[in-house]
Amino acid sequence: MGRKRSAGGIGASPASEDRCGLSLVKVARRVSRIYDACLEPAGIRITQFLAMTALKELGRGTLAELSQRLEVEQRTMARIVLSLQTAGLVRTERSSADRRRRLMELTRRGHRVLDKATPLWRAAQEQLELQN
């Protein structure tokens, strides 16, 4: 009898697939820690930087648009945006066209923080490339 083929490859067991998933989670956390450490002088984390960058590209956008752009669940994005609002980096207002929609945009302070954070993000990128 030959080996059974599974979604994880020939002879892969659920335990080996779990190890692969766990390894990916660990790598993602390490990468996030590198970005967070590099962005710390700007006072933001990588999740906030990505949301701010996407919002700058959009100009103004809704939570749904931002979530879709970053492929993040809306509940997660709502927490990120709330932290940015609390820090005075993002403001929201109701859409005049549809009062149910809330539009978000960077504040002046948000633009300044993003300008400060961008070279820090580039330094993190270079650090990750060197580790590769």
Over residues 15-26, the pLDDT tens digits come to: 556 777 777 788
**DSSP secondary structure letters along 61-104:** B-HHHHHHHHT--HHHHHHHHHHHHHTTSEEEEE-SS-TT-EEE
Over residues 94-112, the pLDDT tens digits come to: 877 777 788 999 999 999 9
Give the whole-angstrom CA distance, residue 102 versus residue 82. Answer: 13
In sequence order, which residues have a C-beta less than 8 Å from that of residue 101 and are 6 or more positions away?
62, 94, 95
Whole-model pTM?
A: 0.79
Backbone angles phi, psi at 88, to 5 degrees: 75, 20
